[in-house]
Amino acid sequence: MASLTSPVPLFGAMRGGIVAAGYNLLYAALFAGMGVGLLAAKPWAFPLSLGATVVFTADRVALLLDEPAREAHLASLGVTEDVETILGTDFIGSVYLLLTVTVLACWWGFVLYLYFRRDYIHRPVSAP
């Protein structure tokens, strides 16, 4: 996220302006909340992390299913028609799918780790 108005792939195209700002603010708030909650060992850290992971997963799956948005996103990353001609659209799509599944597996692995470490998150904080 370079800026709040950095374009995001939504609804078949790259969206900027107020839509991108809202999208980027949502993720910034979710991830900042996760960071604060986990660092401070707050009891709400795990539910927030789980909720953020569900939102992120739904967003990534929607992008995988939205071919025009996916193509716009790849174009914004510098994947041109020349690159698609050389590597093939199927290959690029397979790599994109593999990378997305890998990132999602890492997120869900992190949430699973948090679940098993919930005793740390729910411990009472002692006064200094």
**pLDDT tens digits, residue range 24-83?**
999 999 999 999 999 988 889 999 999 999 999 999 998 888 888 877 777 777 766 666
Q: How far apart are CA 42 and CA 44, in angstroms?
A: 5
Reply yes or no on whether the pLDDT at 121 is more than 80: no
pLDDT higher at 123 or 5 = 5
Whether the per-residue pLDDT at 127 is higher than 60: the answer is no
The pLDDT of residue 36 is 94
Which residue pairs, CB below 8 angstroms and at least 24 apart, start in 26-31?
Answer: 26/55, 27/1, 27/56, 28/1, 28/4, 30/55, 30/56
**Average pLDDT of the chain, as a whole number:** 84
pLDDT of residue 82: 66
